[in-house]
Chains A and B, each alone.
Chain A
Amino acid sequence: MKPSAFDYRRPEQLDEAIDLLGELGPDAKVLAGGQSLVPLLSMRLVAPKHLLDINRIAQLDFVSCGADGVRVGALARHAVLERDAGARAVQPLLAAALAMVAHPTIRNRGTTVGSIVHADPAAEMPAVLCLLGGSITATSTSGRRTIGASDFFLGPLESALQEGELAVEAFFPALPPQSGTAFAEISRRHGDYAVCGVAGLVTLDDDLRISVARAGYLSVSPTPLVLDLTDAVSGRTFDGDLSAAGDFASAAVDPEPDIHASADYRRHLVGVLTNRVIVGAAQRAAREIMANGARQALPMPGAQP
């Protein structure tokens, strides 16, 4: 378990990295947190001629939050994003999902953008990016482009990044108004890749009835799967029977069996976990609406009605 020989480059400027990547061509691999790449190197499942380490490029190490969402630089570690108070406020699904990403030691080193670019359908953050309709920004010598999540994941471990492109940023849209999110997964051991995982997003109308319900899935399809469950539960109150969402979802998925779980068990879990996250997301949305309503009803001190 020792890697084949490779040339190692560690640029400190983004421009330099982009130039190198263009110059080195398809034989170069980008090293960020290394949580997937280093084991693959050690097992000689990949043997790139060049390793381009981006860990010294300080300008990629950021989490920036705006009203529209959260921008995550290519060097932001999972753990940093997980603990970022601004990100938590703008899009609470991020912290909920990141808590399920492997173990703390892996989150301390691994990067969120790296995990997305690795495009493992069993990983949490690709599914979150897809559910939220986020995007990836990539840069190369021929320019900068933004790729929507739905176009980014082409297959297991296969993304839309092209030769010479470096993913520099992921964008996660903010939580829409009157909405809530939830994340749930079942893994064999604490911190393992999930046998099945679901991220849910629910938007309620002013009467606390469901107007939008969507869920993103990991480990049940070759690329992250997003299902629109709105038709199954539209118009139901947040605390009503929402189990039609799970029924719809489990009928809609076509998971593969592996050594840890049968296909039917995974399909069953899709139903169970869908119900859990839709109920959880609906309740959060309702709490948010009721809390805001209460705030609005509170008169400002000294204000004249």
Chain B
Amino acid sequence: MTSRMVGEAVKRVEDPRLLVGAGRFLDDLGQDAAELAVLRSPHAHARITDIDVTAALEVQGLLAIYTYEDLTGPLADPLPLLIPHPAISAGRTQYALAKDEVNYVGEAIAVVVAENRYLAEDAVERIVVSYRPLTPVVGVQAARAADHLVHEDAPGNVAAHFVQEVGDAAAAIAAAPFRLELELAIERSASTPLEGRGVLAQWDSDSQRLRMWTSTQTSTGVRAAVAAKLGLDLGRVEVITPDVGGGFGVKIVHPWPEEVLVPMAARALGRAVKFTEDRREHFISAAHERGQLQQIEVGFDATGRILGLSVRFWHDNGAYLPYGLIVPIITSTQLLGPYKPGAYRVEFDSLYTNTVIVTPYRGAGRPQGVYAMERTLDAIASELGLDRSEVRATNFIQPSEMPYDHGLIFQDGRPLVYDSGDFPATLAKLKALVGWDDWPAYQAAARAQGRQVGLGLACYVEGTGVGPYEGGHVQIETSGRVKVATGLTSQGQGHQTAFAQIVADELGVSMDDIEVVTGDTRRFPYAVGTFASRAAVTSGSAIALAARMARRKVLKVAADALEANPEDLEIVEGMVRVKGAPGVAMSLGTVAVLSNPLRYAFDEASKAATQFVVGDSDLPPVNEDDEPGLEGRDYYSPLRSTFANGMHAVIVETDPETAEIKILRYCVVHDCGTLINPLIVEGQVHGGVAQGVGGALYERIVYDDAGQLQNASFMDFLMPYVSEVPESIEIDHLETPSPLNPLGIKGAGEAGVIPSAAVFASAISDAEGFAITAMPISPSDLFELRRRHAGTDGHNESIAKKEPTR
């Protein structure tokens, strides 16, 4: 019997190719293509009064310059607002090239196409733009104050105002025996994939077809958008994703201006055109996330049970709103985590600022929500003098309450209903893993040595696998090899491995004989994209269903040939055989030959399917309810999201002198249902934790008051090196299958990053004895906080200590 592949820690089949440098990323393609460079706004807010390209025209090798005036038809309209929502009162999106006004430093004003990027940049330098500067709005506070407006027709800088409420939170809080109020802040960060954005397009004037490659998380989304913008039938546009060097959310936004301008130029110039984003461009013209201010009111009883929770927050959505309200809606709903809040009210404003757009970055609003909830639970524990883990346990939804309906609407427009999860078991595993009960003794012993150590805890629930759907196609070739295609894209998730594991089990073939293609609209044109921890759930399920369809066909064809009942057949290592009689067997390749009735033999094996060899002469060669070939194509469309969960603990040490923050241990317990590949899931957790360390302790997006980004490089945007990430991340799994899909799986892609701000704030608070209410935190920030809490301005003051609370 072939051993089961799902659940095995199979090494990624992608890695050998990528590790030896044989990956092919966007900029590896199109070596002969003309190159495009973008003139970007140096002002955060200005009217454009004139654009003079005269001097640029002298650059040798220049092919074309485009400004807004050159855009026609749908290209002259604003880029789409991808996800409309009724609460959006002023939905504004940018033009592919700025029309009259710019609203952030980095906004595209003109593009130049030249023989190469050097010459294109020479021409960009020579374009003279005249501006009338306007006052920029930078930061949530300035947006709220609304002394100046980003968009004249968006009063108060409000893009949307949204309220959800279950029960009467104000009354519940007022009636509660204990009450607390918190004010919290969390700053911007960014996805920062190592490969930036990039687009290559070729126009074939003979067939009037466009073929483009783009570094995206949704090739079908780009295809639809480009077809619409360029006025082409979908059938004339092919979009292919090569290897993609990371996405983390920023590449789900589409179409980027360059994604429509590159194909436009390729068609106009009749030659291949390429745009490869550089790092500075990525920082100032792609997308950021995370920035919010939060006000929380909570009422609770003496056991720490929350009776009423009211959250008001202000979300900085940047200059435009292409991705709608997804981030703040996720914050407002996923904030609840594994807890029952009693009555709950959440109200947010999504606000315009003259900064780069804010769209989902791994975690997508959850890190902010978890931070709000977990800081609140720590505050309750501190107020009541209770163990922090006990306060959490008191508020948990119990396994017996699943499925649990929060009475809210989630980001997919569907009810927020948790499908499964065992939160008390997850917490018990985490406490055992980190040694929770031994902590007070350890902390006291360390303190006696003059060391400051702190333990943090944070819990989250993540809605994964959102719809609307994904599809899968499985085809068994006459060689016996299996070709699998799904439309969503890959940017490092290990889909080629995980999906092959699924198909190996469903079809009884070796993984070596399975080839998986993703993100190529020629192979699978119906798809949504890779985001929201959805690929394994949606495409994995669809591929499993497609493989089952192919398997049924295999058994039917083989049953005819072997004169057996389909129920009596099994597939083992690529051979279809009669159960209990392994001698009566044929290879999948032979079954594939027989599945396609032939007039012409093209090789020895195919003779078996020709007209004088097979077939019942009383029936047509292909029956009415049948079709030639061994294929299955199926779709999986979830009723709603499936909810994974996890809990993290971190132990930090803060230097009493330098305020440096060192990670001593990082522990994760994670439940994403059935594990397809534990190695890949742990890799996802490691990567997420690494990004979380960055977001909590290192990275921040720093704008000055003029809206100039102060750290648009990896020298000053402190993405952690391997030296900043914990050497080992201790992981334990729980597998609570989802009842919503055929494999019982839940998404795992974002999990690792979600509780980071919360868990580090908790640990540093524990080490320092005062509450951390703004994240990320640097040693300099911690130094200043120590001074504030010590109530002095000297630099050698002692640090006031409260008794630590657990």
Measured CB to CB, the residues of A under 8 A from B are: 1-5, 43-44, 186, 188-193, 195, 247, 250, 259-262, 264-265, 267-269, 271-272
Contact = CB atoms under 8 A, between A and B. Distances in A.
A272 B279 contact: no
Given A188-B698, A262-B783, A1 B795 contact: no
A264 B784 CA distance: 8
B318 to A, nearest CB: 20
Given A250-B795, A265-B779, A268-B783, A188 B718 contact: yes
Contacts of A188: 698, 718, 778-779
Tell me if A's interface is mostly helix, strand, loop or mixed: loop
B125 A44 contact: yes
A271 B795 contact: yes
Contacts of B787: 264
B280 A5 contact: no
Contact of A44 (B121, B721, B778, B796): B121
Interface string B691-732: 000000010101000000011000110101101100000000
B784 A269 contact: no
A9 to B, nearest CB: 19
B405 interface: no
Given A189-B721, A259-B711, A269-B658, A2 B784 contact: no
Nearest to A190: B723
Lowest 3 CB-CB distances: which A-B pairs, in order?
Answer: A190-B723, A1-B278, A261-B780
Interface string B469-488: 00000000000000000000
B711 to A, nearest CB: 6
Given A188-B698, A264-B795, A265-B783, A4 B721 contact: no
Nearest to A259: B702
Contact of A265 (B122, B279, B720, B784): B784
A261 B718 CA distance: 13
B442 interface: no
Contacts of A43: 280
B657 interface: yes
A45 B18 CA distance: 34
B724 A2 contact: no
Nearest to A42: B278
Contacts of A193: 715
B720 A1 contact: no
A271 to B, nearest CB: 7
Given A1-B279, A262-B783, A272-B657, A191 B721 contact: yes
B796 A261 contact: no
Contacts of B657: 272
Contacts of B780: 195, 260-262, 265
Interface string B722-746: 0110000000000000000000000
B117 interface: yes
A259 B117 CA distance: 32
Given A186-B779, A272-B657, A5 B279 contact: no
A189 B720 contact: yes
A5 B120 CA distance: 12
A189 B125 contact: no
A190 B721 contact: yes
Given A260-B780, A271-B796, 15 more contacts: A4-B125, A44-B121, A188-B778, A189-B721, A189-B723, A190-B723, A195-B779, A259-B702, A259-B710, A259-B711, A259-B716, A261-B779, A265-B779, A271-B795, A272-B658
Contacts of A264: 783-784, 787, 795
A44 B122 CA distance: 10
B50 interface: no
A255 B459 CA distance: 41
A43 B284 CA distance: 14
Contact of A189 (B122, B278, B698): B698
B123 to A, nearest CB: 12
Interface string B769-806: 00000000011100110010000000110000000000
B121 A2 contact: yes
Contacts of B702: 259
Contacts of A247: 796
Contacts of B715: 192-193
Nearest to B720: A189
B390 interface: no
B724 A189 contact: yes
B122 A4 contact: yes
B746 to A, nearest CB: 34
Nearest to A196: B658
B159 to A, nearest CB: 28
A259 to B, nearest CB: 5
A44 B125 CA distance: 10
B778 A261 contact: yes
Contacts of B720: 189
A201 B491 CA distance: 52
Nearest to B120: A2
Contact of A2 (B118, B779, B783): B118
Nearest to A193: B715
Contacts of A272: 657-658
16 contacts: A2-B118, A2-B121, A5-B118, A43-B280, A189-B721, A189-B724, A191-B721, A192-B715, A195-B780, A262-B780, A264-B787, A265-B779, A268-B795, A271-B796, A272-B657, A272-B658
